[in-house]
Amino acid sequence: MNNFRIGFGYDVHQLQEGYEFWLGGIKLAHEKGAVGHSDADVLIHVICDAILGAADLRDIGFHFSDTDPQYKGIDSKILLKEVMKLLRNNGYELGNIDTTICLQQPKVNPHIPLMKQCLADVMEVKTSQISIKATTTEKLGFVGREEGVSAYCVALIQTKEN
């Protein structure tokens, strides 16, 4: 019998000129980038939080503190790979994730296939297990003013079959 568990993730990063913009493991060309201790990949961060939450393994900040110098500027794909190891070492496997990115500019939809492939490779899952959607906020709020990016993720995990 499978033991299913659900986790949820939410994250926000400020956008500023002079920073690279990493999203879903790929670098987007844009005049602004996300600000953070790591590479500030908001999509990977919410995926990590949703998976960790589903497995009752706390959150990304607990495992990879933003005050720890070893994570300064780190590629978030490395963090995601570690989260997947934690998941599997605790007897779980990923069922699927469903994500939503809230971003006014740049347009995300053209990049979704490459993001899905990148994330699937890092997570060692099928691309069909990863859903990425994008929306604007119709120019409302900090996202609409292009001051930041936010993302949401729901993850379904299940106990590994022996």
Residue 142 marked in a binding site: yes
Residue 149 marked in a binding site: no
Residue 135 marked in a binding site: yes
Amino acid sitting at position 99: T
Residue 124 marked in a binding site: no
Residue 138 marked in a binding site: yes
Quick one: which H or E segment has residue 92?
strand 92-102
Residue 4 marked in a binding site: no
Residue 37 marked in a binding site: yes
Residue 82 marked in a binding site: no
Residue 38 marked in a binding site: yes
Residue 111 marked in a binding site: no
Residue 98 marked in a binding site: no
Residue 30 marked in a binding site: no
Return contacts of 138-147, CB within 8 angstroms, 24+ apart: 139/104, 142/12, 143/102, 143/103, 143/104, 144/104, 145/104, 146/15, 146/32, 146/104, 146/105, 147/14, 147/15
Residue 64 marked in a binding site: yes
Residue 131 marked in a binding site: no
Angle, to 10 degrees, between the axis of helix 76-89 and the axis of helix 42-54?
Answer: 10
Cβ distance 97 to 54 under 8 Å? Answer: no
Q: Point out which residues pair with 149 in neighbouring strands.
A: 13
Annotated binding site: 11-13, 37-38, 45, 59-61, 64-68, 135-138, 142, 145
Would you list which residues are annotated within the binding site for a divalent metal cation?
Answer: 11, 13, 45
